Amino acid sequence: MSQTITRLDLYDNKSYNPGKNKIIRTVWYFTNVLFFLNPFNPFSSLKKGLLKLFGARIGKGVVIKPSVNFKYPWRLRIGDYSWIGEGVWIDNLEHVVIGNNCCISQGALLLSGNHNYKKSTFDLMTGKIILEDGVWIGAKSVVTPGITCFSHSVLSAGSLLNSDMDPFSVYSGNPAKFVRKRNIE
């Protein structure tokens, strides 16, 4: 029986549209490196202004810590009073919507793109990520493409989320599973 193998030389990403032209993407790349990935820039107000300049919708009271990586700000929406922790990577090949009062802790990854390992050409697959109000994504956690984290759900530290989280629920593990209801006092 013959097996088909992965052929990265046949990978073709031409159907993916990043949403802006190459010049804007290049200017954003250097802006991201200088002002966001740079650990010596602690100023959230400057970062919020730059994100808005590139098309992001940012609410009031948002905190963005140092060393945060944003792929495409024009595909980003962050609600009021949300926090983005140090070392977070928002790889938003598709839209990422972060609600009000959300917390994305240190080193978390929101990955809206992946590859189809079942295809020899390793095709790109993308999906929108939605974090509704009050969601907490724990440190070093991973959220995969096409996920909705419903209101006030929690993903514990170091977990991998590959399915939606119910509202007011806590999930943990790899893959993340329901652990208990979230009661807020």
What are the pLDDT digits (tens) for 92-118?
999 999 999 999 999 999 999 999 999
**Can you give the pLDDT at residue 42?**
86
CA gap 92, 113 in Å, rounded: 7
**Can you give the pLDDT at residue 115?**
93
Region 28-50 average pLDDT? 94
CA gap 12, 22 in Å, rounded: 17
Q: Does residue 7 lie within any of the structural domains? A: no
Q: What's 108's domain CATH number? A: 2.160.10.10
Q: Does residue 11 lie within any of the structural domains? A: no
Token pair recorded at residue 33: 């490196």
By residue range, what is the domain housing residue 165? 19-181
- Whether pLDDT at 27 is above 70: yes
**Can you give the pLDDT at residue 1?**
53
Q: Does residue 97 lie within any of the structural domains? A: yes
**Can you give the pLDDT at residue 110?**
98
Q: Does residue 13 lie within any of the structural domains? A: no
Residues 6+ positions from 51 with CB-CB distance below 8 Å: 58, 64, 70, 73, 76
Task: Give the residue with greater pLDDT, 41 vs 142.
Answer: 142
- Whether pLDDT at 2 is above 70: no
Per-residue DSSP letter, 38: -
Q: Does residue 130 lie within any of the structural domains? A: yes
Please check whether residue 28 is in contact with residue 144, taking contact to mean a CB–CB distance below 8 angstroms: no
Q: Does residue 4 lie within any of the structural domains? A: no
Token pair recorded at residue 144: 């995969």
Residue type, 164: D
What are the pLDDT digits (tens) for 128-171?
999 999 999 999 999 999 999 999 999 999 999 999 999 999 99
**Can you give the pLDDT at residue 41?**
87
**Can you give the pLDDT at residue 13?**
87
- The pTM of the full predicted model, rounded to 2 decimals, is 0.94
Q: Does residue 161 lie within any of the structural domains? A: yes
pLDDT band, residue 4 (cuts 50/70/90): confident
What are the pLDDT digits (tens) for 68-93?
999 999 999 999 999 999 999 999 99
**Can you give the pLDDT at residue 3?**
80
**How many independent structural domains does the chain possess?**
1
Please check whether residue 144 is in contact with residue 160, taking contact to mean a CB–CB distance below 8 angstroms: yes
- Count the neighbouring beta carbons within 10 Å of the beta carbon of residue 134: 21
Q: Does residue 136 lie within any of the structural domains? A: yes
User: How many CA within 13 A on the CB side of residue 51?
Assistant: 25
